[in-house]
Amino acid sequence: MRNTVKFSTAVLAAGALTFGLSACGSSDSDSASDTSGPLVVAASPTPHAEILNYIKENLAKKAGLDLEVKEFQDYIVPNTATEDGSVDANYFQNQPYLDDFNKKRGTHIVPVVTVHLEPLGLYSHKVKSVDALKSGATVAVPNDAVNEARSLKLLAANGLITLKDGVGSEATPQDIAKNPKNLKFKEVEAAQTVRSLDDVDAAVVNGNYAISADLKPAKDALVLESAKNSPYGNFLAVKDGNQDDPRVKKLAKLLTSPEVKKFIEDKYAGSVIPSF
């Protein structure tokens, strides 16, 4: 049986406040975690927790690793919990997102090892191709800075919009130079994009949320982000200072093992791509 803890939205909201308050009271002397107990890792349910649970059930015991997986639906609490020591590590995010998070929240999270890429995709319950999107169509996009910019770059790469020259990883709809279909944008929390598909004409959805909703990115996306030279690989991360935790090193080695690579390739069939 999987030793996995799932958190409701209400608990997450309360947890975010608790974790934030705890972080305010922490000090640099608390940065080194106790390495005698299980390694507690915060993760998005799909595919991150699935990958971790595969390791827990098949590889961890032989490697001498006691692994506990905690599932979170949002993109905030895993980092704040890692910062204040409520968990030892997390596995859910990419470098641009982490850079933005650390800058805005004053956290000290660092990557350990990159594991996989989840291509971002545009999905619709109403049309079968981007050409079928009508003038004035509404497109839902994640409202966090990095994933919104990533979404707009996906649309631009497929000819739906043109972004202003020099726009970087913080692009917003205000940075659109040309919008031939006069698309309207609905900014929602990343976890809500897939749930908005019945209310909008299309939505840009992160790979983990698409897979959780039984969408197959490689098959169902109208357009899909290219994996070539992508900066959006997802990695195991810890609070700075905990990189040398022997439990973290064991997990990093397992996450990039041939067994995990095969598991990812077999289970996700191109919707999640190993980065090692």
Task: Give mean pLDDT, residues 256-268.
Answer: 96
pLDDT category at 34 given cuts 50, 70, 90 is low
Rounded CA-CA distance 112/91 in Å is: 10
Strands, E assignment, the chain: 4-6, 39-43, 67-71, 89-93, 109-117, 121-123, 138-142, 162-163, 176-178, 184-188, 202-205, 223-224, 234-239, 273-274
pLDDT, averaged across the chain: 88
Query: What tokens appear for 147 in the block?
Result: 């994933």
* pLDDT tens readout for residues 83-118: 999 999 999 999 999 999 999 999 999 999 999 998
The two three-digit tokens of residue 158, written as one number: 């497929």
Give tens-digit pLDDT for 202-242: 999 999 899 989 999 989 999 999 877 788 999 999 999 99
CA dist 134 and 222 (Å) reads 14
d(CA 245, CA 242): 5
pLDDT tens-digit readout, 154-195 = 999 999 999 999 887 789 999 999 999 999 999 999 999 999
CA distance readout (Å), 2 to 26, 29, 86, 128, 245: 31, 33, 20, 38, 24
Closest CA to 72 of 86, 59, 61: 86
Q: Is the pLDDT reported for residue 247 higher than 60?
A: yes
Distance CA 32, CA 76 (A): 21
- At residue 52, does pLDDT exceed 50? yes
Copy the structure tokens of residue 213.
């909703």
H or E element in which residue 204 lies: strand 202-205
Q: What is the mean pLDDT of residues 239-262?
A: 98
- Phi, psi at residue 67, to the nearest 5°? -115, 130
pLDDT band (50, 70, 90) for residue 11: very low
Strand-pairing partners, residue 108, are none
pLDDT per residue as tens digits for the range 15-24: 433 334 333 3
pLDDT of the residue at 9: 35
The full set of domains in the chain, from first to last, is 4-119+231-274 (3.40.190.10), 121-224 (3.40.190.10)
Backbone angles phi, psi at 187, to 5 degrees: -90, 120
* Cβ(6)–Cβ(44) below 8 Å: no
For range 57-82, the mean pLDDT: 97
| 34-38, 128-132, 246-250: range with lowest mean pLDDT | 34-38
Q: Are 28 and 93 in contact (CB under 8 A)?
A: no
Report CA torsion sign: 186, 190, 192, 196. positive
pLDDT for 260: 98
Sheet with 89-93, edge to edge strand ranges: 4-6, 67-71, 39-43, 89-93, 234-239, 109-117, 273-274
What integer pLDDT is reported at residue 226 of this predicted model?
83
123-162, pLDDT tens digit by residue? 999 999 999 999 999 999 999 988 999 999 999 999 999 9
* pLDDT value at residue 24: 39
